[in-house]
């Protein structure tokens, strides 16, 4: 330790702090023993401490001079003053130790020793952070200068200027890179290291490449302007990322300690007067809002350092918001935001200074609400302008009209004239957004706008000239109303309709619109310049709307949002390349290179459009979409082989390979995300790979010998095998995802649940398509048709899955036949027919209506083929129970209720589909009419709830919306239960239906096992096992009800139910053994034997079943929640609960378990000692903790060394390093607390914060340790 302190210039911050903390703890222990015994004691040698502190403060003096060179005398003075206090405290400790050694009862000496120890510990922390802040400021300054030189180089136009700029740019960027290298060198956390190394590699590599590009351009040599722009943006982004991660490293080093030193050069409560730094508003504001959440959490926990760091982060991010000076509302909002932020920073300090002051807490909450409201408003305006100009400019018209109304109230001529100008400008911007097709459709609305604007101009001018002309005032107000209404009509008819769809389908429609707009670009070049402008405008609007929707979908998932921002940036860049390519191709239509560049840009943009959708869509949706592509390629290959068409076969094989690669890539990501389904997915992947190899060989043979019947037969078998393998992979992947999907615990089997949801989706998309055709919205209708085709393809795939599960050949054929008819029904919805129908062609409209009716009927027929009326009633009842549980769990609606609301929407949509089927099978006219009325009411509630839920994602803090949704939830609960009761099957049918289905599943499982299809066997056997449990429950319910009037039935039901309960676990064991070894004849025989016994007992129950009552669900298991911890005792209890069932052993993972349990025990000792005020016990517990955390880190390193997954390895070590950091800080805070007389609320709060941080790190270390041990 002494040697370490003497080499402080090379030691890490946590090592210096720990060493000094050890020395202080030794002195405090000496004081406590002297206080306890009153006898003369051997005093600790303080010479090394004093010498080390002197050496440390000498280094601080050098750093203080560097502050002066940086131009910050305030920080220089603070560092010099802090170093002086540290030296005096160390000297005082040395003197008081001598005084106590000579006079153990000297109370003043003891008191002074404690005070000096506390001062030394606290000020050493401050001194080290001040030194660290110099490095941070240096990096911030160099990053800023690098960006400035980057910008100057980008606009450089002369060679003499270029030479000077190159020297400055390269020098500055390389200086930044070297400074960052130094910081990387002493950061221990591997995750933070990589976060800094990645952007720093860009800073080292790209400036030189950028210089070459600029040089070529200035000298007239061939160059790529796109590369130049790409390099510039990459360097700017890398510099920003370096600054952000550097601040994160500082926060990590000093997390939990009481520090209040600004990271940036600006004071922590000061914002720049003009917030005009360029950066994408929508990206920054999402980070700002995330930081607000962190600030609120930090304040609630009393973590001053973290709270003030968040204040600094928020200030920096707000300073980077892109404010349009021409937008008066945005400038005023920016000023309001600056004022509100100052109030918020003040309120933050007040709460931290006195955490128990309710008035200060209320003021903090008020300030948070104000700031949140302003940023949401600014975000909505900015995102609207970026994503959908029509919507943004429509809102601008309404705001301008509101200003106009205010100007009329003021009755000031100049103000009125200015307001009229604002309205005219807003209306002009709105009309300029419309393409030729929209203008043609909206002739009447446009005429109304023109007339209302003229009336407003004339009447307001007359009123401004004569404020007593009340007739003119009345005309002006009437014109305002007319103009507002006409603008709303334009926005409504031009903006994309959603029809109450969920965000996933809205994204698919948005992506389809983007791709359609992309496809219209090249044809527009062959038409006219006006057509080109209209096509680009449409493409810009479509891609912007898609990007905006993607950000909305990802806002609560940091990783997804990061991916969305990455792809959105690439999409924006590809759009820029497309515009440049269009300009060049238009100017040089015969230039092949221009056409080639445009093709590349279009392909790149198309790839990013599809990539953005894939980032936010559910994995199961992507699986089914890829499967549809794969199946289409297989169908094309089959046709080509039959025709002997080599070229078509080659294309089909390429498409097939592409689809399989996509499916395997997605399957790999699913195994990482859903490890519970990994085995099934990997088995399916292996099966598909084998089937593909077989098909490739037989395809060549069949093409080479078209008349060879044997070759054709082998090809057909291989084709069927690959189709089945692809279906198995899709199902296994979707099954894995279903275990974590919303509504996955609704009691309905996955395939049936998917079919129900997808059936509802097909109905909704069909209704929306019909509505869009009536309104004449061609682009939206064509995009919706494309998504409807995907939904139908998914239903066809699900029908094939259902058919594969049944052993009833007739039912299997029926399902496949109906699914094929459904697939062919889409051919009647061609783009040509939709285009004609939207143009009011009555014949085309009639054709579309007929096709949509046919699709609806076939969709219903598919559901009829998969379940009986009794099964539908049982599923509906399970869904109703699940819906009630979710609604109860939501409680009071808030912005965080979104995911649970989606589960309610899904459950109600499935209930409606099941209710339709029950109604179609109902023979009682009166009951059928009741069900249909209930379905109508449920449909209205579903539409209202869907629309309100979508609005909640956009406006999470709208209290009136929360109240409205609360009412809709109440309506959903009532209509759900009414529908469930009306559709309830007669009691005897429920037991009979479930019993028949159980027998069918056991027969299907036996059949699959005999064929060697392990995945199908396991799936059918699991279904059978679940239905056995259902039969047991139902049979016992009937037995309870029948005891008083039918003793024989009572005995049969109870006896058979008891026997089924004995057989069910025996069946599960036999299934597990057979699945593990499917070739074992004894395992097969055991499955058949136990299955037959279950069928025998089930048949007795079915025969006896006359009155059945069903169902109950277990409560959810409690979860550990560190965030609610408010004491060290509670933190140690959480860790004890988490480690209670761990079994330490001599493996590296077992030693992690042992260290984790020991840490929990020592934390309990520390808590008890702190409560007693026992300084010695506190110090001993703190030392134990530090030792155990070091042990945990050492064992975590051993586990990490054997882990093959780099990301898991880094995260494990990151958590271990974080734990060690918190352990050191606990030791520091124990030193402060032990050297404090009385109670120090700040130290108490920090001790709790560090304890929580340590527990969280240990828990994460355990989690990643388990994962790393599996990934050897």
**pLDDT band at 1172; cut points 50, 70, 90:** confident
Q: Which residue has the tokens 């408003």?
A: 377
Pull the structure tokens for residue 837.
């129908």
How far is 1142 from 1138, CA to CA, in rounded Å? Answer: 8
pLDDT of residue 1271: 64
Contacts of 1119 (CB under 8 A, 6+ apart): none
Read out DSSP for 946-970?
HHHHHHHHH-TT-HHHHHHHHHHHH
Pull the structure tokens for residue 799.
């029908």
Which of 1124, 1254, 1234 is closest to 1170 using CA atoms? 1234
By the 8 A CB rule, do 400 and 426 touch?
yes
Q: How many C-beta neighbours within 10 Å does residue 235 have?
A: 27
- CA 1036 centroid distance within chain: 45
CA atoms within 13 A on the CB side of 184: 19
On the question of pLDDT at 970 being above 50, the answer is yes
**pLDDT band at 1094; cut points 50, 70, 90:** very high
Assign 588 to helix, strand or coil. Answer: coil
Which of 1088, 1087, 744 is closest to 885 using CA atoms? 744
How far is 598 from 535, CA to CA, in rounded Å? Answer: 14
How far is 254 from 1253, CA to CA, in rounded Å? Answer: 12
By the 8 A CB rule, do 177 and 204 touch?
yes
Q: What is the pLDDT of residues 65-115, one digit of tens each?
A: 776 666 667 777 777 888 888 778 777 777 777 777 777 666 677 677 767
By the 8 A CB rule, do 1007 and 807 touch?
yes
Q: What's the N-to-C CA distance of the chain in angstroms?
A: 36
How far is 654 from 646, CA to CA, in rounded Å? Answer: 12
How far is 993 from 985, CA to CA, in rounded Å? Answer: 10
3-state secondary structure 1085-1128: HHHHHHHHHHHHHHHHHHHHCCCCCCCCCCCCCCCCCHHHCCCH
Who wins on pLDDT, 1142 or 240?
240
Instruction: Using CA atoms of 1002, 1005, 1006, 1010 in order, give the dihedral in degrees to the nearest 10.
Output: 170
By the 8 A CB rule, do 427 and 480 touch?
no
Q: What is the pLDDT of residues 199-210, one digit of tens each?
A: 888 888 888 888
Q: What DSSP character marks residue 433?
A: T
CA R_g for the chain: 36
By CB atoms closer than 10 A (0-12, 13-18, 19+), residue 867 is buried
Tell me how far apart the 2 most distant CA atoms of the chain are, in Å: 112
pLDDT of residue 282: 40
Which of 879, 883, 768 is closest to 829 using CA atoms? 768
Q: What is the pLDDT of residues 624-635, one digit of tens each?
A: 888 888 888 888
Q: Torsion-angle region of residue 548: left (phi > 0), alpha (psi -120 to 50) or beta?
A: alpha
Assign 55 to helix, strand or coil. Answer: helix
Which of 960, 916, 913, 967 is closest to 944 using CA atoms? 967
**pLDDT band at 1047; cut points 50, 70, 90:** low
Pull the structure tokens for residue 220.
């007239």
- Which ranges of 674-777 would DSSP assign to H, the alpha helix? 678-704, 709-738, 750-775
Q: What is the pLDDT of residues 514-571, one digit of tens each?
A: 898 888 888 888 888 778 878 887 887 788 778 878 887 887 777 788 788 888 878 8
How far is 311 from 314, CA to CA, in rounded Å? Answer: 5
Q: What is the pLDDT of residues 6-45, one digit of tens each?
A: 343 444 545 555 666 666 666 666 656 655 555 445 566 6
pLDDT of residue 762: 86
Which of 9, 92, 82, 12 is closest to 52 using CA atoms? 9
**pLDDT band at 752; cut points 50, 70, 90:** confident
How far is 861 from 753, CA to CA, in rounded Å? Answer: 16
């Amino acid at each position: 330790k002494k040697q370490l302190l003497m080499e402080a210039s090379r030691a890490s911050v946590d090592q210096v702090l720990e060493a000094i903390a050890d020395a202080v703890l030794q002195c405090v222990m000496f004081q406590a023993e002297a206080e306890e015994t009153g006898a003369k004691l051997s005093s600790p040698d303080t010479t090394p401490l004093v010498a080390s502190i002197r050496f440390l403060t000498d280094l601080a003096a050098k750093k203080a001079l560097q502050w002066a060179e940086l131009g910050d005398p305030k920080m220089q003075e603070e560092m010099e003053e802090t170093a002086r206090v540290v030296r005096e405290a160390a000297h005082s400790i040395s003197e008081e130790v001598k005084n106590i050694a000579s006079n153990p009862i000297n109370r003043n000496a003891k008191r002074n020793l404690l005070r000096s120890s506390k001062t030394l510990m606290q000020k050493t922390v401050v001194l080290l952070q001040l030194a660290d802040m110099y490095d941070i400021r240096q990096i911030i300054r160099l990053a800023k200068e690098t960006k400035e030189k980057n910008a100057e180089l980008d606009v450089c136009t002369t060679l003499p200027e270029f030479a000077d700029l190159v020297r400055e740019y390269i020098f500055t960027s390389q200086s930044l890179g070297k400074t960052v290298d130094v910081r990387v060198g002493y950061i221990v956390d591997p995750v933070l290291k990589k976060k800094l190394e990645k952007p720093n590699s860009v800073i080292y590599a790209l400036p030189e490449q950028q210089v070459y590009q600029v040089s070529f351009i200035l000298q007239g040599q061939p160059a790529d302007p796109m590369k130049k722009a790409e390099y510039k943006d990459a360097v700017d982004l890398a510099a920003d990322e370096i600054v952000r991660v550097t601040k994160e490293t500082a926060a990590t080093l000093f997390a939990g300690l009481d520090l209040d030193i600004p990271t940036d050069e600006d004071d922590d409560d000061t914002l720049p007067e003009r917030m005009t730094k360029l950066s994408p508003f929508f990206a920054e504001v999402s980070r700002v809002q995330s930081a607000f959440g962190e600030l609120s959490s930090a304040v609630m926990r009393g973590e001053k350092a973290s709270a003030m760091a968040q204040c600094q982060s928020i200030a920096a991010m707000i300073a980077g918001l892109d404010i349009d000076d021409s937008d008066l509302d945005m400038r005023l909002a920016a000023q309001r935001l600056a004022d509100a932020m100052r109030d918020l920073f003040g309120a933050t300090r007040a709460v931290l200074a006195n955490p128990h002051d309710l008035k200060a807490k209320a003021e903090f909450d008020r300030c948070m609400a104000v700031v949140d409201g302003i940023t949401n408003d600014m975000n909505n305006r900015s995102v609207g302008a970026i994503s959908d100009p029509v919507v943004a400019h429509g809102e601008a018209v309404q705001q301008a009209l509101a200003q106009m109304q205010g100007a009329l109230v003021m009755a000031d001529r100049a103000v009125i004239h200015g307001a009229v100008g604002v309205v005219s400008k807003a209306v002009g911007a709105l009309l300029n957004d419309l393409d030729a097709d929209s203008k043609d459709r909206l002739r009447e609305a446009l005429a109304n706008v023109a007339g209302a604007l003229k009336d407003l101009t004339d009447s307001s001018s007359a009123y401004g000239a004569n404020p007593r002309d009340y007739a003119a005032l009345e005309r002006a107000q009437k014109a305002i109303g007319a103009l507002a209404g006409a603008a709303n009509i334009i926005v409504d008819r031009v903006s994309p309709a959603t029809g109450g769809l969920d965000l996933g389908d809205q994204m698919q429609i948005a992506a389809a619109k983007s791709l359609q707009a992309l496809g219209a670009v090249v044809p527009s070049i062959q038409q006219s310049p006006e057509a080109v402008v209209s096509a680009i405008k449409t493409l810009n609007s479509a891609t912007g709307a898609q990007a905006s929707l993607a950000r909305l979908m990802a806002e609560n998932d940091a990783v997804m949002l990061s991916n969305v921002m990455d792809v959105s940036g690439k999409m924006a860049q590809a759009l820029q390349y497309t515009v440049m390519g269009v300009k060049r191709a238009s100017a040089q239509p015969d230039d092949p290179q221009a056409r080639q560049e445009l093709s590349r840009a279009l392909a790149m943009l198309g790839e990013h459009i599809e990539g953005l959708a894939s980032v936010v869509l559910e994995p199961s949706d992507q699986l089914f979409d890829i499967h549809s592509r794969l199946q289409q390629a297989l169908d094309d290959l089959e046709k080509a082989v039959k025709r002997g068409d080599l070229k078509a076969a080659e294309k089909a094989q390429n498409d097939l390979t592409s689809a399989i690669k996509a499916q395997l890539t997605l399957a790999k990501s699913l195994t990482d995300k859903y490890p519970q389904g990994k085995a099934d997915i990997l088995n399916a992947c292996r099966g598909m790979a084998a089937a593909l190899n077989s098909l490739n060989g037989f395809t060549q043979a069949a093409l080479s010998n078209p008349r060879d019947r044997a070759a054709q037969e082998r090809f057909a078998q291989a084709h069927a095998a690959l189709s089945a393998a692809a279906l198995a992979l899709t199902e296994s992947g979707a099954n894995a995802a279903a275990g974590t999907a919303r509504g996955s615990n609704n009691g309905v089997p996955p395939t049936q649940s998917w079919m129900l949801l997808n059936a509802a989706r097909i109905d909704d998309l069909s209704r929306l398509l019909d509505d869009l055709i009536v309104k004449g919205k061609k682009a939206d209708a064509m995009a919706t048709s494309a998504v409807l085709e995907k939904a139908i393809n998914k239903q066809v795939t699900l029908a094939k899955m259902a058919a594969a599960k049944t052993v009833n050949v007739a039912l299997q054929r029926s399902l496949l036949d109906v699914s094929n008819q459904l697939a062919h029904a889409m051919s009647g919805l061609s783009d040509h027919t939709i285009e004609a129908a939207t143009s009011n062609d009555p014949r085309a409209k009639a054709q579309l209506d007929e096709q949509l009716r046919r699709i609806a009927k076939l969709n219903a027929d598919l559901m009829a083929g998969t379940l009986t009326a009794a099964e539908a009633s049982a599923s509906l009842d399970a869904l109703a129970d699940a819906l009630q549980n979710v609604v109860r769990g939501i409680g009071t609606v808030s912005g965080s209720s979104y995911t649970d609301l989606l589960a309610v929407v899904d459950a109600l949509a499935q209930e409606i589909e099941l209710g339709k089927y029950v109604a179609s099978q109902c023979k009682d006219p009166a009951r059928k009419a009741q069900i249909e009325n209930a379905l109508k009411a449920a449909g209205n509630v579903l539409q209202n709830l869907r629309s309100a839920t979508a609005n909640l994602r956009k406006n999470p803090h709208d209290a009136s919306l929360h109240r409205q949704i609360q009412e809709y939830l109440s309506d959903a609960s009532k209509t759900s239960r009414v529908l469930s009761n009306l559709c309830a099957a007669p009691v005897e049918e429920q037991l009979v239906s479930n019993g028949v289905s159980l027998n069918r599943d056991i027969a299907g499982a036996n059949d699959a096992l005999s064929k060697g299809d392990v995945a199908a066997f396991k799936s059918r056997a699991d279904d059978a096992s679940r239905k056995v449990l259902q039969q047991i429950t139902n049979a016992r319910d009937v037995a309870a009800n029948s005891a008083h009037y039918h003793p024989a039935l009572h005995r049969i039901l109870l006896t058979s139910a008891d026997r089924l309960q004995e057989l069910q676990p025996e069946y599960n064991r036999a299934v597990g053994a057979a699945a593990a070894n499917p070739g074992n004849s004894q395992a097969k025989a055991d499955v058949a034997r136990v299955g037959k016994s279950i069928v025998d007992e089930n048949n007795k129950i079915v025969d006896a079943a006359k009155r059945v009552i069903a169902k109950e669900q277990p409560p959810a298991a409690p979860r550990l929640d560190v965030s609610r911890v408010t004491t060290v005792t509670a933190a140690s209890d959480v860790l004890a609960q988490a480690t209670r069932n761990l079994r330490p052993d001599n493996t590296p993972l077992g030693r992690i378990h042992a260290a984790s349990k020991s840490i929990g025990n020592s934390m309990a000792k520390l808590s008890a000692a702190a409560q007693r005020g026992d300084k010695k016990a506190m110090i001993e517990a703190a030392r134990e903790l530090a030792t155990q955390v070091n042990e945990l880190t050492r064992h975590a390193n051993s586990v990490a060394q054997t882990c093959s997954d780099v990301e898991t390895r880094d995260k494990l070590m990151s958590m271990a390093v974080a734990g060690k950091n918190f352990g050191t800080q606990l030791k520091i805070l124990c030193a402060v607390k032990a050297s404090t007389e009385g109670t120090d609320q700040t130290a108490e709060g920090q001790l709790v914060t560090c304890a929580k941080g340590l527990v969280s790190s240990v828990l994460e270390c355990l989690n990643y340790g388990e994962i790393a041990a599996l990934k050897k």
